[in-house]
A and B are shown apart, each in its own frame.
Chain A
Amino acid sequence: MINSASDKAVKVLANVCLTFLSICALFPFVLLIIASFTENGVAIAEGYSFTPSKLSLAAYEYLIQEWATIGRGYLMTIIVTTIGTAVGLMMTAMFSYALMVSDLPGHNILTVMVLISMLFNGGIVASYFIYSNVMHIKDTIFALIVPGLMMNAFNIILMRNFFKDSVSKEILESARIDGAGELRIFAQMVLPLSVPILATIGLLQAIGYWNDWTNGLYYLTKRGGSAYYTIQLILNQMNEDIQFLASNSAKLGIAVDTSDMPTTTMRMAIAFIAILPVLIAYPFFQKYFVKGISVGAVKG
C-alpha cells in the first residue's frame, strides 16, 4: 500500500485524541472520589487533589450517621423513577398505538395535538401557575413525577414510527378480521414486538427521572416538601446549605453533632454516593443508551 504511512498517522492521531478526550471526561470524577477520601484538614490546607498527603474515611462515617436523610433521598429517587418511568412509558405506548389506528375518528386531532406541543409551549411561568394553583401539586409526590417528564411528543413519534415499521399492516388486518379487539392487538401483538423501543425510551425516561432536580426546585418548598427530597435535591440543597443534612436529620428526631462535621470532604462524598449506582449500572445499559441517542437522531 502506497498510503500506509499516512493512514497509520491518522489512526495514531485518532487514538491519541480519543484517549485525551476520555481522560478529560473522567478526571473530574477521579478528583471527586479522591477528594471524598481525603482527610478534611488536609483538604482545607492543600485543596482537592489527586495526591492528598493523608486519606480518611471521616466523611463517609459522617454520612452513615446521616443515613436517615440520605437513605430517604435514595428511596424517593427510586420510587419516583420507578413510578414515573412505568406510568409514563405505558402512557406513551398507549397513545402511540392510538395514533397508529389511522381510521380512528379524531385521529387527525390527536396527531395535530402532538405536533403543536412540539412547536409551542406556554413558558415556564404559565406551567408553574397551572401546576401549583390549578392542579395543586406543590409539596406532594406528584410534583416530582408529573410535570414535564412523563410523556413528550418526541417519544411518541419515536414509538409510533417503531410500531409502524415493526408491526406489519397485514398481520394487524388479519387479526382484526379474526375478531381480535384493539386492546388485545395492542397488548398481545404490538407490545411484545416493541420490546426494543420500550427498553430504549424507558431507559431515557428513567435517566431523566433519576437526574431530575428542577421539578423539586419549583414545586417542593424547603419547609413543606423536604420529606420528598430525592438524592439530587439533597445535593442541590447542600450546595446552598452544607448544614442541610444535619438540620434535616434533627427534624426527623435524630440528634447530630455538627461541630466536627468534615464539610469540605463531605460534599464530595455525598456527590460520589449519588453517582455510584449510575456508574455501577452503566456498563450494563451502555449499549441501549448509545442506541437511544442514535435512534433519536435519525428522526431529529
Chain B
Amino acid sequence: MVRTQKKKIRWQRFLPVYLLALPGFIYLIINNYMPMFGIIIAFKDLNFAKGMLASDWCGFDNFAYLFRSKDAWVITRNTVCYNIVFIILGVILGITVAIFLNEIRNKIAVRFYQSVVLIPHLMSWVVVSYLAYALLSTDVGFINQSVLKPLGAGPVSWYTEPGYWPVILTIVHLWKSIGFSCVIYYSSVIGISTDYYEAATIDGANKWQQIRSITLPLLKPTVITLTILNLGRIFASDFGLFYQIPRNSGVLYPTTRTLDVYVYNALMNNNDFAMSSAASVYQAVVGFIFIMIANGVIRKLSAENALF
C-alpha cells in the first residue's frame, strides 16, 4: 500500500517533467532521428510512386555510380583542402588579432574593434554574395573598374575563371569569420592570469618576449582543442560560402564545388536522387568517423573539452 502510494507520488512528480521534455523530444525525433533512418534511400532505387519503404533495394549501386564519376574525387578534395587552409589561416589570424586586442588597454577601443570585425559574421551569405558581386562583377565591379582599369590592366572575368577562386573563397571566408575566431581566442587570452605578466615585467621582459613565452604557450591547449574539433568537421563545408559567393556558376565547379553544393545541385536541380543520396550519406558517414576520431584524441589530451 505504502509502496504504491510512493510510486504514485513519484509519477505525480515526474509526469510534468516528461511533458516539459516532450516537445524537444518530438523535435529531435523528427529533425535528427527520422533522417538517420532515411539513410536507407541511398541503398534504394527510389521510385516515388512506390514511396521510400517499398522501393526496390539496389545495394551499393548508387555509391558505385558516384565513385565512378570523377566528381566524387573533386568534391572530396575541394571540401577537405579548403577546410585545411581555413583551419590553419583561421588559427594564425585569430590568435594574432586576439593578442593585438589584448595589447590595447582602452576598453572602449577594444569594444569598438571587436564590434566592427564581427559585423561580417552577422550577415547572411546572400548579403555577402551581393558585396562580393559589387567588387567582382566583370563590367561594373569595383576591382575591374576602379582598381585594374587605372592600372592599365584589362578587365578580369572573375566569375568564369576557376583559377582565382581558391584565393577569393579563402579571403571571403576569413573576412567573414575572423571576428568570430578572434573573439574566441580573445576570451582565452584575457583568461590568462595577470600575475605571469607582472612577474615577467619585473624580470625585465618586454612585450614581445611576454607574448612569445607566456601568451602563446598558454593558448596552446585552446588552439589544440579547437583545431581538433575543426578537423572533426573536415567533411562538412559551409554551403553558403561555396554556393552563394561563386553564384553557383558551373564553369567554376572544378575549384568551388564541395560536397554540400554537389548534393544540393544533384538533388534540387538534376533530381538525381541516386547521386545526391549517395553523396550525402558518404558525407554523413565519413564525417561521423572524423568526429569520433577527433573526440577520441581530445579525450586523451584534455578530457574536459571532449563531447563525451
Residue ranges of A at the interface with B (Cβ–Cβ < 8 Å): 2-3, 6-7, 10-11, 13-15, 17-18, 21-22, 24-26, 28-29, 31-32, 35, 43-44, 46-50, 90-92, 94-95, 97-99, 101, 104-105, 110, 113-130, 133-135, 146-148, 150-151, 156, 176, 181-183, 186, 207, 210-214, 217-218, 232, 235-236, 239, 264, 267-268, 271, 274-275, 278-279, 282-283, 286, 289-290, 293-294, 297-300
State the CA gap A183–B115 with chains docked (Å): 39
State the CA gap A125–B19 with chains docked (Å): 31
Q: Which 10 A-B pairs have the closest CB atoms?
A: A47-B145, A95-B24, A126-B38, A122-B35, A123-B280, A211-B124, A98-B21, A3-B206, A294-B187, A14-B100
Are A182 and B13 in contact, CB atoms less than 8 angstroms apart?
yes
| B253 CB–A CB distance under 8 Å | no
Are B145 and A49 in contact, CB atoms less than 8 angstroms apart?
yes
Are A129 and B38 in contact, CB atoms less than 8 angstroms apart?
yes
State the CA gap A66–B281 with chains docked (Å): 43
- Cβ contact of A289, chosen from B13, B122, B226, cutoff 8 A: B122
Are B267 and A128 in contact, CB atoms less than 8 angstroms apart?
yes
| B140 CB–A CB distance under 8 Å | yes
Are B97 and A21 in contact, CB atoms less than 8 angstroms apart?
yes
Offer 11 A-B interface pairs, CB within 8 angstroms, sorted by A: A17-B97, A35-B134, A98-B24, A124-B263, A125-B276, A126-B280, A151-B27, A275-B127, A278-B123, A293-B184, A297-B188
| Known contacts A113-B28, A124-B267; A130/B35 CB under 8 A | yes
Report the minimal beta-carbon distance from A227 to chain B, rounded to whole angstroms.
Answer: 19
Residue ranges of B at the interface with A (Cβ–Cβ < 8 Å): 13-14, 16-21, 23-25, 27-28, 30-39, 41-42, 51-52, 96-97, 99-101, 103-104, 109, 111-120, 122-127, 129-135, 137, 139-142, 144-146, 175, 178-180, 183-184, 186-188, 204-208, 211, 225-226, 229, 239-240, 244, 247, 260, 263-264, 267-268, 273, 276-277, 279-281, 283-284, 288, 291-292, 295, 305, 307-308
Are B38 and A127 in contact, CB atoms less than 8 angstroms apart?
yes
State the CA gap A279–B116 with chains docked (Å): 11
Are A213 and B30 in contact, CB atoms less than 8 angstroms apart?
no
State the CA gap A283–B243 with chains docked (Å): 30
Are A218 and B268 in contact, CB atoms less than 8 angstroms apart?
yes
Residue of A nearest to B172 (CB): A28
- Cβ contact of A28, chosen from B28, B131, B178, cutoff 8 A: B131
Are B126 and A97 in contact, CB atoms less than 8 angstroms apart?
no
Are A95 and B25 in contact, CB atoms less than 8 angstroms apart?
yes
Are B126 and A213 in contact, CB atoms less than 8 angstroms apart?
yes
Residue of B nearest to A186 (CB): B20
Report the minimal beta-carbon distance from A87 to chain B, rounded to whole angstroms.
Answer: 8
- Cβ contact of B31, chosen from A118, A124, A146, A279, cutoff 8 A: A146
| Known contacts A3-B206, A14-B100; A28/B134 CB under 8 A | yes
A28 partner residues in chain B, CB cutoff 8 A: 131-132, 134-135
A120 partner residues in chain B, CB cutoff 8 A: 36, 284, 288
Are A122 and B52 in contact, CB atoms less than 8 angstroms apart?
no
Are A267 and B130 in contact, CB atoms less than 8 angstroms apart?
yes
B180 partner residues in chain A, CB cutoff 8 A: 293
Residue of A nearest to B115 (CB): A286
Are B183 and A48 in contact, CB atoms less than 8 angstroms apart?
no
B229 partner residues in chain A, CB cutoff 8 A: 300
Are B146 and A47 in contact, CB atoms less than 8 angstroms apart?
yes
Are B117 and A22 in contact, CB atoms less than 8 angstroms apart?
yes
A122 partner residues in chain B, CB cutoff 8 A: 32, 34-39, 281, 284
